[in-house]
Amino acid sequence: MMNYSEFYTFPKNVVTRWASHENPDGEKGAGGKAGNGRKGSPWFRLNKGESHVLAHAENTSGMIRRIWITISEQIPETLRGIRLEMFWDNSDQPAVSVPLGDFFCVGLGKTAVFKNALFTNPEGRSFSTCIPMPFKTGMKITVTNESSVDVRHFYYDIDYTLGDVFSDQMMYFHAYFNRENLTGMKRDFELLPYVEGKGRFLGTNMGVRCNTKLYSDTWWGEGEFKAYIDGDKDYPTICGTGVEDYVGTAWGQDYFYDLYSGCPVYDKVNMELCFYRFHVPDPIYFETDFRAVIQQIGAVDRDDYFHHAQLLYKNLKAGTQVIDTKGETVDFMNIPMLDGRPLLFEREDDWSCCSYFYLDRPKNNLPELMDAKERIGGLKARPGYMGNYPQEMPLFD
C-alpha cells in the first residue's frame, strides 16, 4: 500500500539524481552538456562484446527508484544476450546478473504490451521498473552485450536518491535467471536455487516453450509451485495446486495481465507463453535459507483424451514413452475413463525464469549466469520484426 505521507514530507539530507547518457555520472549541474545542451548525446552504441556502466555512486547510501530502458534491436538475440548486472556496496560479486529482457518481465525475447505493480511495457517497446533497490555505501549498474548483434541505440534513465537513511532491517535487491532446455523428467525446475540468508522472495517471471513434438497440444501446466523455507528438506512449507493457479487464474490459462500476476504472451500456434507472479500483498519471508521450484507435470482430461490419443499415438509407435506421475507408461490409446480427474504425466519442456528477491547481504551464493548461447538457443523473433522497426525500414546511425 502506498505511503502518501512520502508525497509531502521532505526527507533530510536526501538529493535526487538521474543517470542517463546525457549525464552518466549523475553529477549536479552537469546534464546535457554534449552538443551545447541541444540533445547531443541521448543514446550510446553497445556493440557486441562491449560493456557500459549505466550508473554508479560511491561512499554514500541511496536507493534506485526507477529504471527505464529501450534499445533499437529488440529481438531474442539481444534481449537474452545483453547481460544486466547490479552491484551493491562495492561488492565484487553482482547481486543481479540476468538477461536484460527477462529482468524486465519480458520472457523468451518476446516483447508485449503489459503493466503490473513492478514492471511496465506500455506499448511493447520499452522496459521499466519501479522496484526499490537500496544501498548503504554505493552502487554500480552495468550492461554487457554478449550477443552477436550490435545495438545501435541504447537509451536509458536510472532515477535514484542519495543520502537515504536505513534501519538495520534493510535488505538488498537480487535477481536470478535460470533456463533448462529441456527440463529433467520428474525433476522440479528451480525458480530460485537454495540461497542462504534472511530475506524475502518477491516473485518470478517465467517463460515456457512446450515440447509439442513429444506431447502435442496437451495441457502443460499441472505442476505445483513449492517453496522450501528455513531448513525444509523433503517437503516444502508452501505448496500450490497448479501453474495457472499460482499465476492467479484457473481451469487453464490464456492472455491476461494484472497487478501481481499475468500472462502477457500466449502463442497458441507455437505453444509458447510468458507469465509472472509477484508476492507483494502476500510476502514470503525466510530467516535462514530458501528455495523455490515448480513441477513439470502435464495432464490429459477425460473430455478430450481421444483427441490427444490420436495426436500422441505416433510417439508410442516411435518407441517414445510418456510416464505418468505414478511412474507408469501412459498408453494414450487406452486411457481409462476417469471420474472427472485428469490423467497426470511427467513432462520435459523448455522452461526459463527470472526470479526476484531481497537478501540481508549484497552478495548471494547462487550460480553464475549461464553462457549467452544457452540463454538464446532456439528462441525465434516474430516474422518480419527487427526491434521497433520493420526490417525494410533502415535505422539511422
Q: Cis bond leading into 162, ω under 30°?
A: no
pLDDT of residue 218: 85
Domain ranges of the chain: 12-168, 171-365
pLDDT of residue 302: 62
| Rounded distance between C-alpha atoms, residue 246 and residue 108, angstroms | 20
Nine-digit cell at 212?
509439442
Q: Do domains 12-168 and 171-365 have the same CATH topology?
A: yes
pLDDT of residue 217: 83
CATH architecture of the domain with range 12-168: Sandwich (2.60)
pLDDT of residue 393: 38
Full 3-state SS string of 124-193:
CCCEEECCCEEECCEEEEEEEECCCCCEEEEEEEEEEEECCCCCCCCCEEEEEEEEECCCCCCCCEEEEE
Cα 369 to its chain centre, rounded Å, is: 13
pLDDT of residue 340: 62
For residues 336 and 253, is the Cβ–Cβ distance under 8 A?
no
pLDDT of residue 125: 94
pTM given for the model = 0.93
pLDDT of residue 395: 42
| Rounded distance between C-alpha atoms, residue 159 and residue 140, angstroms | 13
CATH architecture of the domain with range 171-365: Sandwich (2.60)
pLDDT tens string, the chain, 397 residues long: the values are 668 888 899 999 999 999 999 999 999 999 999 998 899 999 999 999 999 999 999 999 999 999 999 999 999 999 999 999 999 999 999 999 999 999 999 999 999 999 999 999 999 999 999 999 999 999 999 999 999 999 999 999 999 999 999 999 999 999 999 999 999 999 999 999 999 999 999 999 999 999 988 888 889 999 999 999 999 999 999 999 999 999 999 999 999 999 999 999 999 999 999 999 999 999 999 999 999 999 999 988 766 666 666 656 655 555 567 788 888 877 666 666 556 677 888 999 999 999 999 999 999 999 999 999 999 999 987 654 444 443 333 444 4
Which value, to the nearest 10 degrees, does the dihedral of the CA atoms of residues 40, 60, 50, 180 take? -130
